[in-house]
Amino acid sequence: MLTEYMNKNGFYEALSKTGVIPVVVLERAEDAVPLANALVKGGLPAAEVTFRTAAAADCIRKVSEKCPDILVGAGTVINVEQAKRAVDAGARFIVGPGYDIETVEWCIANEVNVIPAAVTPSELMALINRDVHVTKFFPANIYGGIPAINALASVFVGHRFMPTGGVNSENLTDYLANPSIIAVGGTWMVKPELFADGDFSQVETIASEVSAAVCTHCA
């Protein structure tokens, strides 16, 4: 159902439309499907499942197989081996906390959507020259946030950013209002303590609030 998002332009359109990409850390694979369903019901049909836990690949596989309405990808991918495992599990995109050029080139060669992170002009130049036109800006709150993105965007015209790190409900609309920002990544709607008891209703509620903020901004 989401095969069109494997195309780079379609993927970028999906990012822009969703506005907020939940950054998910899961210790248990059995939490993956109910969490994904809660996000979809709340109006955020995307999830970046991070490779910070041993369960990451299994979580991606379960979501990919059981939740056709969510755009699922892998985050905190730092090498080609992880990228291959993620794609084999069903990840439709790869996100890195920085960039490993070998991983970026593997993704490009295999037509896998990739969002590497870059915060300096030299990093951006290296990636743009490899036809990467959307990058993660992480950690956004440490590296200057919106003023830093504006400065970079004034030089790298047309390039777009996905800031993550320090983005929250209080500053969300400020980030989304910036034309150089395609979407943001955040954890506040998927924090493990919200569903530690097996109840995912809080995730759905917060996702609904975030989705409403995105819709208000778009309107």
Is residue 2 predicted with pLDDT exceeding 60?
no
pLDDT value, residue 7: 77
In a domain, 208, yes or no: yes
Is residue 1 predicted with pLDDT exceeding 70?
no
Burial of 68 from C-beta contacts in 10 A (0-12 / 13-18 / 19+): exposed
Q: How far apart are CA 100 and CA 74, in angstroms?
A: 15
Identify the band that residue 8 occupies on the pLDDT scale cut at 50, 70 and 90: confident
Identify the band that residue 142 occupies on the pLDDT scale cut at 50, 70 and 90: very high
In a domain, 219, yes or no: no
Enzyme catalytic residues: 48, 136
Look at the chain and report how many structural domains it folds into: 1
In a domain, 164, yes or no: yes
Per-residue pLDDT averaged across 89-114, rounded?
Answer: 97
pLDDT, averaged across the chain? 95
Segment (H or E) for 23: strand 20-24
Contacts of 170 (CB under 8 A, 6+ apart): none
pLDDT in tens, 42-91: 999 999 999 999 999 999 999 999 999 999 999 999 999 999 999 999 99
Q: Name the residue range of residue 147's domain.
A: 3-214
Per-residue pLDDT averaged across 6-35, rounded?
Answer: 94
Is residue 161 predicted with pLDDT exceeding 70?
yes
CATH of the domain at 180: 3.20.20.70
pLDDT in tens, 195-218: 999 999 999 999 999 999 998 766
Write out the E strands in 51-188. Answer: 71-75, 93-95, 113-115, 134-137, 160-163, 184-186
Indicate the DSSP class of residue 3: G
Identify the band that residue 3 occupies on the pLDDT scale cut at 50, 70 and 90: very low
Identify the band that residue 219 occupies on the pLDDT scale cut at 50, 70 and 90: low
Per-residue pLDDT averaged across 152-168, rounded?
Answer: 98
In a domain, 148, yes or no: yes
Q: How far apart are CA 78 and CA 116, in angstroms?
A: 9
pLDDT value, residue 198: 96
Share of the chain above pLDDT 70, in %: 96
CA gyration radius for the chain?
A: 16
In a domain, 33, yes or no: yes
Identify the band that residue 5 occupies on the pLDDT scale cut at 50, 70 and 90: very low
